[in-house]
Amino acid sequence: MRYISTRGQAPARDFADVLLAGLAEDGGLFIPETWPHFSPADFRSMRGLPYAELAARVMQPFTGTAIPFEVLRTICHAAYAGFGHPAVVPLVQLETGLFVQELFHGPTLAFKDMAMQVLGRLFDYVLTQRDKRVTIVGATSGDTGSAAIEACAGRDRVDIMILHPHGRTSLVQRRQMTTVHAGNVGNVAVEGTFDDCQDLVKAMFADAGFRQEVRLSAVNSINWARIAAQIPYYVASALALGAPDREVAFSVPTGNFGNVLAAWAARRMGLPVARLIVGSNRNDILARFLASNDMSMAPVEPSLSPSMDIQVSSNFERVLFELLDRDADLTRQTMLDFRRFGRMTVADPVWHRARTLFHGFRLDDPGTEAEIRRLHATSGYLADPHTAVGVAAARALPCGGGVPIVAMATAHPAKFPDAMERATGHRPALPPRMADLFEREERFTVLPNDLGTVEAAVRALVGRNRA
Ligand SMILES: *Cc1c(COP(=O)(O)O)cnc(C)c1O
């Protein structure tokens, strides 16, 4: 399997190169040269498999010859062995025809673990093959940093340093990062904002000498391997509800468009998906695009569902490339204009096609709180604010014809105890395996918002492990 760039000016690569590179050199995103396809018989043969086994089978066409199948199987089994539910991604029924699929039973209680746990192990395998090490740096306001740390802690070939804004993350989120004690993990609390942290990371990547010296790498949400590792759970829930002999619909609370892109990919590979619903909070660039062909950037506003607080959904570029019939020049020009003018211009026929692929939905904070309360009152189910957006979207846009809808539950309600308590009067407890989170010892260094100081901290971490 080879991958090409959506902007057409980078050479084709295999899975291992795409994993390590993340972004293509021309600024584009990697996408499979041809989409793999599963027949109905292929899908039927996957019914009833344990999740890790199914994940390996669904990912295999993407990893191709870069990762031997036995290695991929072992990685998938190890990645999901530590999840807090034996089904890994259990389906819960809320009403007739309405289900949630819980993607939050991993080590950090959010769906990022589904891909990150696989990614950390893939990095180790590929880097061992090449006898190389990398240093991952990242900035986080919450979920992504902890998922990346959990995925990389104790890996042989990777050091990881995560920057978070000092005193500006939730306590659960900070402790999920700072109580992981592994020699290859570093946490820096920057005296500044999340934007300062992001600027420091960008500046480290722009410092060519430093970048080479520590072999910088990233695991951000545009990495194709993350998308590939998110496709299997759509297959799993569809099979459980009768696919390939019955259609299903999915509702996905969306930020960077990675999760819903994986659902789209599952359909592209032959899964009978009747409808894909894109749920947004008040940061509704995608909903506006689908409603009125208005893809214009707006300032990010904080909401009850912070992991969906985005200005631009970076993974949308992959769908755009397909909508434009894989015209890389047009994709590149459209994306450059979008960056320059803050507004994406898409021809009407293309927009109409987008509307046949996706349904948009927007829910503000009061609506989200009302949905959490309603769900709790009618079924006793505690849905976190992100999940509540997806469930509300599913209820607003039913398919009819007896097609079941599965809403993706992307975070454990215990990650958002204040919002949950306000809406329902209940403060959800952390799962037993994490109940001691607030007693664990924290390790992090508070540093000023200064590039030289932060680079020195990264060097010290790397030096310790390469000596
Ligand atoms: C990251 C995240 C999302 C958004 O997912 P995308 O792939 O960025 O669209 C939704 N909910 C939660 C809890 C998340 O952590």
pLDDT digits (tens, 9 = 90+) for 186-207: 999 999 988 899 889 989 988 9
261, with CB counted inside 10 A (0-12, 13-18, 19+), is buried
- In the chain, the amino acid numbered 370 is A
The secondary structure of 205-223 as a DSSP string is HH-HHHHHHHTEE---TT-
> Residue 188 is encoded by which pair of tokens?
């820096």
What torsion, rounded to 10 degrees, do the Cα atoms 13, 19, 21, 22 define? Answer: 110
Given a contact cutoff of 8 angstroms between Cβ atoms, the answer to whether 116 and 151 are in contact is: yes
147 Cβ neighbours under 8 A, 6+ residues apart: 106, 107, 108, 110, 112, 113, 116
* Residue 438: CB atoms within 10 Å: 12
Q: How far apart are CA 136 and CA 133, in angstroms?
A: 10
Q: How far apart are CA 213 and CA 463, in angstroms?
A: 11
**Cis previous bond, 86, omega within 30:** no
> Residue 360 is encoded by which pair of tokens?
């948009």
> Residue 198 is encoded by which pair of tokens?
């992001």
Å from CA of 190 to ligand 1 middle: 24
Given a contact cutoff of 8 angstroms between Cβ atoms, the answer to whether 4 and 33 are in contact is: yes
Chain segment 126-176, per-residue pLDDT in tens: 999 999 999 999 998 777 899 999 999 999 999 999 999 998 888 888 999
**Residues 52, 54, 57, 58: is their CA dihedral positive or negative?**
negative
Chain segment 283-304, per-residue pLDDT in tens: 999 999 999 999 999 988 989 9
255 close to ligand 1 (CB < 6 Angstrom): yes
Nearest-CA neighbor of 142 among 111, 102, 171, 106? 171
Q: How far apart are CA 120 and CA 303, in angstroms?
A: 30
- In the numeric block, the tokens 């389906």 are attached to 91
* Residue whose CB lies within 8 A of the most ligand 1 atoms, among 169, 285, 410, 412, for a mutation test: 410
Q: Would the pLDDT of 179 be above 70?
A: yes
- Minimum CA distance residue for ligand 1 atom 11: 410
287 close to ligand 1 (CB < 6 Angstrom): no
Q: Would the pLDDT of 120 be above 90?
A: yes
Mean pLDDT in residue range 64-85: 97
- Minimum CA distance residue for ligand 1 atom 7: 258
pLDDT value, residue 170: 82
- Ligand 1 atom nearest to CA at 387: 11
Q: How far apart are CA 114 and CA 108, in angstroms?
A: 10
425, with CB counted inside 10 A (0-12, 13-18, 19+), is exposed
Q: Residue 250's pLDDT band (boundaries 50, 70, 90)? A: very high
408 close to ligand 1 (CB < 6 Angstrom): no
Q: What is the mean pLDDT of the chain?
A: 95
280 close to ligand 1 (CB < 6 Angstrom): no
Chain segment 23-47, per-residue pLDDT in tens: 898 989 999 999 999 999 999 999 9
Å from CA of 309 to ligand 1 middle: 9
202 is catalytic: no
- Minimum CA distance residue for ligand 1 atom 1: 307
259 close to ligand 1 (CB < 6 Angstrom): yes
pTM of the model: 0.96
Å from CA of 466 to ligand 1 middle: 34
Nearest-CA neighbor of 442 among 169, 69, 237? 169
pLDDT value, residue 467: 66
Nearest-CA neighbor of 273 among 286, 284, 260? 260
Q: How far apart are CA 19 and CA 22, in angstroms?
A: 6
412 close to ligand 1 (CB < 6 Angstrom): no
Å from CA of 42 to ligand 1 middle: 29
Mean pLDDT in residue range 252-277: 97
pLDDT value, residue 396: 97
* Residue 311: CB atoms within 10 Å: 12
Q: How far apart are CA 394 and CA 315, in angstroms?
A: 22
Å from CA of 275 to ligand 1 middle: 19
Q: Give the whole-number percent of the chain exceeding pLDDT 70.
A: 100
